[in-house]
Structure 1
Amino acid sequence: MTERVGVYPGTFDPVTLGHMDIIRRGATLVDRLVIGVTTNASKSPMFTLEERLAMIARETAGIAGVSVVAFDSLLMDFAEAQGASTILRGVRGVTDFEYEYQLTGMNRALNDRVETVFLMADVALQPIASRLVKEIAFYGGPIHRFVTPSVAREVADRVERIGRKGARP
């Protein structure tokens, strides 16, 4: 029997409880789930690629069949290199779906041997976005409901080094 490999791509800056929900559920759909960590040129990351790889590897250590790999190529080329037949994408709402729908069409044009599977985020986790977690943290707000305790500490440490917005001199 052929091993079913899936790829879950993203920047994961930082990895949130929403990401972890998709990873846990996605890992049950395939024999091996590769978390593909990339850098998006249109985003300015809080954490380096190496820091994000380490963060996700630590957070997913207890999930069977999950590996974490960096990539800097077209997603479909990365999926092919991993032997993946499935791309896993998390969707929080209509806005995500519209973007993902367009992306899926382009990806299918590049490689129609790889299928995209959408997982709806858990209702309680749908509002969570890495971008918003960082913004809340930069303004001194609590992020403990959106990320694991260890990720919350890493974000707080980074914000402390960078400097919090709205802080008084």
Structure 2
Amino acid sequence: MRIAVYPGSFDPITNGHLDIIERALKVFDKVIVAILINPTKKGLFSAEERVELIKKVTKDLDNVEVESFEGLLVDFLEKKETNIIIKGLRAVSDFEYEFQMALMNNKLNSNVETVFMMTSAEYSFLSSSSVKQVAFFDGSVEGLIPSMIIGDLKEKVRKVKEAEQDGSK
């Protein structure tokens, strides 16, 4: 069985991420969506919330697992008994960073291979950061993230805004 790990922060998952997951399933028997817990980076959603959101949008996709992890990606790969990383690329700027990460992961474990998948053109501008910015300014995120989690994003943004207002009073 060919298992690949698709790592990222997915804060929140976008239609671009979902596109990569669906296309990766055409190449691999199983895709593990791995949410990196980065203690130095505060996300909008907690790691547990992100796991639940991704499970919600991938529930109809066979052979997708979702979990979070801490530490080195190569250690997570070993635990999952695979050596394949999937990375989505939107532009040349993504490639430069991801190429360095691929080399580092290969240096840490020479059996690790990174497979780069170009994003579909319709999602080439899309990032979780831009989705959050649009949501915080009450713009429409329709078509940017899976429709079934738009309510989750709006509710989270509302709570964050309320907390900020309560903190400034």
TM (norm. structure 1) is 0.92
Q: Which of structure 1's runs of 4+ aligned residues deviate more than 6 A? A: none
Count how many residue pairs are aligned between Structure 1 and Structure 2: 163
Does residue 49 (structure 1) correspond to residue 47 (structure 2)? The answer is yes
Does residue 39 (structure 1) correspond to residue 37 (structure 2)? The answer is yes
The answer for the alignment partner of 1:29 in structure 2 is 27
Does residue 60 (structure 1) correspond to residue 58 (structure 2)? The answer is yes
The answer for the alignment partner of 1:73 in structure 2 is 71
Of 152-161 and 16-25, more deviation after overlay is shown by 152-161
Identical positions, percent: 36
Residue identity opposite 2:133 in structure 1: E
Residue identity opposite 2:51 in structure 1: L
Q: Quick check: 1:4–1:85 contact (8 Å CA) kept in 2?
A: no
| CA distances 1:9-38 after superposition (whole Å, capped 9, x unpaired) | 011100000000000001121111111111
| CA distances 1:113-140 after superposition (whole Å, capped 9, x unpaired) | 1210000000001111001100111111
**Secondary structure of residue in 2 paired with 1:97:** helix
Residue identity opposite 2:86 in structure 1: L
Deviation at 1:42, TM superposition (A): 4.9
Q: Aligned partners of 1:15 and 1:108: how far apart in 2? A: 26
Q: Quick check: 2:38–2:70 contact (8 Å CA) kept in 1?
A: no
**Secondary structure of residue in 1 paired with 2:86:** strand
Deviation at 1:80, TM superposition (A): 1.1
Q: Quick check: 2:83–2:111 contact (8 Å CA) kept in 1?
A: yes
Root-mean-square deviation (Å): 1.4
CA spacing shift, 1:92–1:42, aligned 2, 3 Å: farther
Deviation at 1:90, TM superposition (A): 0.3
**Secondary structure of residue in 2 paired with 1:134:** helix
Q: Aligned partners of 2:143 and 2:46: how far apart in 1? A: 23
TM (norm. structure 2) is 0.92
